[in-house]
Amino acid sequence: MPSDMGGGLDERGAAAELARLREQINYHNYLYHVLDRPAISDAEFDALMRRLHELEASHPELVTPDSPSQRVGGRPLDAFGTVAHEVPMLSLGNAFSEEELRSFDRRVRGLLAGEPVSYVAELKIDGLSVSLRYEGGVFVQGATRGDGLTGEDITQNLRRVKSVPLRLGLGGLAREVPRDLVVRGEVYMPVPEFEDLNRRREAAGEPLFANPRNAAAGSVRQLDPSITARRALDSFLYNLVLADGAAEAAAGVPGSHFARLAYLRDLGFKVNPESRLFHDIDGVLAYCDQWREARHSLPYETDGVVVKVDSIDQQRRLGSTSHAPRWAIAFKFPAEQGITKVRGIFVNVGRTGAVTPVAELEPVRLAGSTVSRAALHNEDYVREKDIRVGDWVVVHKAGDVIPEVVTVLTERRTGDERPFEMPEHCPACGARVVREPGEAAHRCVNSLGCPAQLAEGLIHFASRAGMDIEGLGSAVITQLLGAGLIADAAELYRLREARDKLVSLERMGEKSTDNLLEAIDRSRGRPLHRLIHALGIRYVGGRVSRVLARHFGTLDALMRASPAELTRVPEVGEKIAGSVSRFFSEPRNRELVEKLRLGEVNMVEPRRDVGVRTQGGAEAGGQLGFFGPDAGPGAGSDAWSAGRPRHAAGAAEPFAGKTFVFTGTLARAERREAESLVESLGGRAASSVSSRTHYVVAGENPGSKLDKARELGVRVLTEDEFWSLVAGGGP
């Protein structure tokens, strides 16, 4: 008998509805994760998923491997099986200079006896190479490269990568999807997710990943697929492997590699948009030069450019050696490594009390900047690498961002080098430094009175990811603490009363003081998720802060939540729930919240589908505002009503998937306020213009960003057009 959850449907009716639901959900997953162009709100998508789970629970016999429900959960694997690659996954030869790339071109043209040759240049993604098999358009198997002939079966984990389609044909391909095909590409971890993951691991006292590639490989090779699902992995697919030419012709597969990339996109795969077709090697070299520096602006890691002969027929005739194809080569960017000397090792005390060793280095130039320090993470890291004061070491920038010691050049030791010992007492307050069982980090036990923890906590509170208080950096915070003007974050909001003392501080003056006070005033209106993140609750990063703010709506509701209630929130496990509950059970933390409330700091999260009005009327030049749900007294409503953004009921994100860049001076808001508004509506505010920018908003006296937008064909909005977009509920 059909269950109530199944809505009284018989098996035939349930199968028909399930087919419709899966098609809808797969399509919307494709729009969101591949095209970055969502068409429905989160709430509407969640409703589709709930209905799918209800029907599948009522009719388990109808669950299929390509169902979107198979992306989450999953039983831990006992071990990975092996997969034999029908077509070997070969490595690529490397070129490290212009001459080596030109030599590759000469070899190709020599073997092709004067035929015209075109090349496709693709960014070389620094991730984990994978092979995906589809039968009848359904994903059935995924494997690692392994030794090129045999790889590990990671099918269940690849189902958790949301840009990997479980069923093909979502990209609008009119032709029939090939019955059997294998697609190859890279699974990678975006740099922002890598940095967030390492922050969470550091807070938990867990070992850090060295770079995004290691993090991606470790995430894909988890025996528990639910761990893979929790990490925001992504993919780029770049090669279509079919059995023979006849099968390709029957399926209408193009004979050009560049056209095949478009074909893969039509099938529903995510393909890197930066790939380009060139008809000579000079164009390829210019492309390599372009990305040598521009790669640092990408949200993923790339260590070079892969160059491939475009014609598939020419590829087949060129063939391969036992190790690498003759028709492709990897141009590697110059290594971002350097050799320098460790002058000393000292320790930093973080906001959670973590005592972290740091190497002081003789300055060395890396990835466009001078490096004089490198994080050593924890005592185990120093011991494992045997890093000593006086050592010569190889350093690089992990992810081209974080300076890190790669290895010690022990052959250069003279005997004068000194091993590092973790201090027994905190250098900031003298309290004991302890290492709890099961943790990698040492911590200062003086969480209430340690000035270093207080200073770091204030830096975190004022950071862009927190309350975004422009001008309140570590130097100013140190001065405020030293002058006795603040003792906690809430006292920032009383600094107007001490303006005269502020002006007298070194390098402050009248203008700097007023700018700082205005920045602090603006921060009162930040959305709740910024405040939650700014409070520095252990294990609660930016993503979890948003989840908690959206779920509970107000800080009061979050503070009242029990651990059991917290664990019912998606993405919140027992560790996070326990940390949040403990944080708000501490009297000093509750006292801080009440002081922030008295400082008129907003404690309400804006809702997502927005009704907009203009306060005072558009002709009167009033400020943009949002009318919304009950944000009563004491919940920060006064701060919001003072001309700051406020949202109406609902859960849509009208700017989801859209990137905005602001240039020039805005008349109706500070730039940071406009950027925060974009983010609160689900969009992204970037600082530079690229081909991935959707809109550039030009105020008065715009700068070079406007020229760049016109050069790239990015749509330019006037300030009035931007506010009209907001008022109209999005693009």
When comparing pLDDT for 427 and 66, which is higher?
A: 427
**Structural tokens at position 272:** 């890197």
Query: Is the CB of residue 55 less than 8 Å from the CB of residue 144?
Result: no
Q: What token pair was written down for 214?
A: 């290691």
321 or 266: which carries more pLDDT confidence?
266
**Nearest one of 648, 640, 641 to 609, comparing CA atoms:** 648
Give the tokens for residue 385: 């690498």
At the fourth CATH level, which superfamily is domain 611-727? BRCT domain (3.40.50.10190)
pLDDT surpassing 80 at residue 484? yes
Please report the beta strands in 401-502, taking only residues with DSSP state E, as ranges in sequence order.
402-408, 418-419, 433-434, 442-444
Residues of the chain with CATH 1.10.150.20: 451-598
Please list the residues that pair with 66 across neighbouring strands.
none
Decide: 459 and 486 in contact? Cβ < 8 Å.
no
Cβ-in-10-Å burial (0-12, 13-18, 19+) of 348 comes to middle
pLDDT computed for residue 650 by the predictor: 35
Instruction: Look over the chain and give the mean of its residue pLDDT values, rounded to a whole number.
Output: 81
Cα dihedral 502→505→506→511 (10° resolution) = 20
- Start and end residues for every CATH 3.40.50.10190 domain found in the chain: 611-727
Instruction: Report d(CA 489, CA 73) in Å as an integer.
Output: 40
Classify domain 11-71 by CATH number: 1.10.287.610
Tokens of 429: 């307050």
Residue 400 has pLDDT above 50, yes or no: no
Chain centroid, CA 715 distance in Å: 25
- Look up residue 297 and give its amino acid: S
Query: Which amino acid would we find at residue 127?
Result: G
Q: Which CATH architecture has domain 451-598?
A: Orthogonal Bundle (1.10)
3-state secondary structure (DSSP) of residue 355: strand
Longest dimension (CA), the chain: 83
User: Lowest-confidence range among 69-83, 165-179, 356-370, 571-585?
Assistant: 69-83
Crossing angle of the two packed helices 281-294 and 98-111, in degrees rounded to 10: 150
Alpha-carbon distances, residue 535 vs 8, 121, 195, 213, 539 (angstroms): 48, 46, 19, 31, 12
Q: Residue 574 pLDDT more than 70?
A: yes
User: Quick one: DSSP state of residue 74?
Assistant: -
State which amino acid sits at residue 694.
H
- 184: nearest Cα among 92, 106, 117: 92
Under 8 Å between Cβ of 252 and 245? no
pLDDT of residue 370: 75
Segment holding 50, helix H or strand E: helix 42-58
pLDDT tens column, 195-233: 888 887 777 766 677 678 888 888 887 777 777 777 889
Please give the Cα distance from 710 to 223 (Å, whole number): 49
pLDDT score at 45: 67
- Give 539-576 as a DSSP string: T--HHHHHHHHHHH-BHHHHHH--HHHHHTSTT--HHH
Which pLDDT value is given to residue 390?
A: 96
Start-end of CATH 2.40.50.140 domains in the chain: 337-443
Distance between CA atoms of residues 701 and 710, nearest Å: 16
pLDDT at 640 over 60: no
**DSSP states along 512-525:** HHHHHHHHHHHHTT
- Give the Cα separation of 152 and 79 in Å (integer): 10
The CATH number of domain 337-443, selected from 1.10.3080.10, 3.40.605.10, 2.40.50.140, 3.40.50.2300: 2.40.50.140
pLDDT band for position 403 (50/70/90)? Answer: confident
Name the pTM for this structure: 0.47
Query: Could you tell me which of 92, 189, 65 has the C-alpha nearest to residue 148?
Result: 92
Lowest mean pLDDT among 365-374, 508-517, 613-622, 665-674: 613-622
What pLDDT is stored for residue 110 in this prediction? Answer: 94
pLDDT at 620 exceeding the cut of 60? no
Rounded Cα distance, 636 and 598, in Å: 9
Q: 93-332 sits in which CATH class? A: alpha beta
- pLDDT at 151 (0 to 100): 84
- Looking at residue 335, what is its pLDDT? 62
CA 59: distance to chain centroid?
A: 37
Residues 590, 596: Cα–Cα separation, whole Å? 10
529 versus 91: the higher-pLDDT residue is 529
Which residues are registered as beta bridge partners of 123?
A: 305
pLDDT band at 727 (very low <50, low <70, confident <90, very high): confident
pLDDT in tens, 145-188: 887 788 888 888 898 888 898 888 755 544 567 778 899 999 99
pLDDT of res. 130:
92
Q: What's the mean pLDDT in 477-486?
A: 91
Q: pLDDT band at residue 247, thresholds of 50, 70 and 90?
A: low
Active site amino acids: 124
Give CATH 3.30.470.30 domain extents, the chain.
Answer: 93-332
Give percent of the chain above pLDDT 90: 34
Residue ranges matching CATH 1.10.287.610 in the chain: 11-71
**Does the pLDDT value for residue 657 go beyond 90?**
no
Higher pLDDT, 76 or 713: 713
Task: Flag whether pLDDT at 615 surpasses 70.
Answer: no
The number of residues in the chain equals: 731
Average pLDDT over residues 361-367: 82
Instruction: Give the neighbor-by-neighbor strand order of the sheet with 276-278.
Output: 93-95, 328-332, 302-309, 119-125, 276-278
- Name beta bridge partners: 276: 121
Take residue 647 and report the two structure tokens written for it. Answer: 């949202």
The residues, any chain, with a CB within 8 Å of residue 199's CB and separated by 6 or more, are: 541
For residues 603 and 705, the model is more confident at 603
- Work out the number of other CB atoms within 10 angstroms of the CB of residue 252: 12
Give per-residue pLDDT as tens, 666-699.
777 767 667 777 877 777 788 778 877 899 999 8
pLDDT of residue 289: 92
- Helix, strand or coil for residue 602? coil
Does the pLDDT value for residue 517 go beyond 50? yes
Q: Residue 612: its pLDDT value, please?
A: 38
Nearest to 401 by CA among 291, 533, 298, 473: 298
Find the mean pLDDT for residues 130-150: 87
Task: Please tell me the number of Cα atoms within 13 Å of 489 on its side-chain side.
Answer: 33
Yes or no: say if 534 and 467 are a contact pair by the CB < 8 Å rule.
yes
Split at pLDDT 50, 70, 90, the class of 617 is: very low
User: 3-state class of 478 per DSSP?
Assistant: helix
φ/ψ region of 553 (left if φ > 0, alpha if ψ in -120 to 50, else beta) reads: left
- Whether residue 639 has pLDDT greater than 60: no
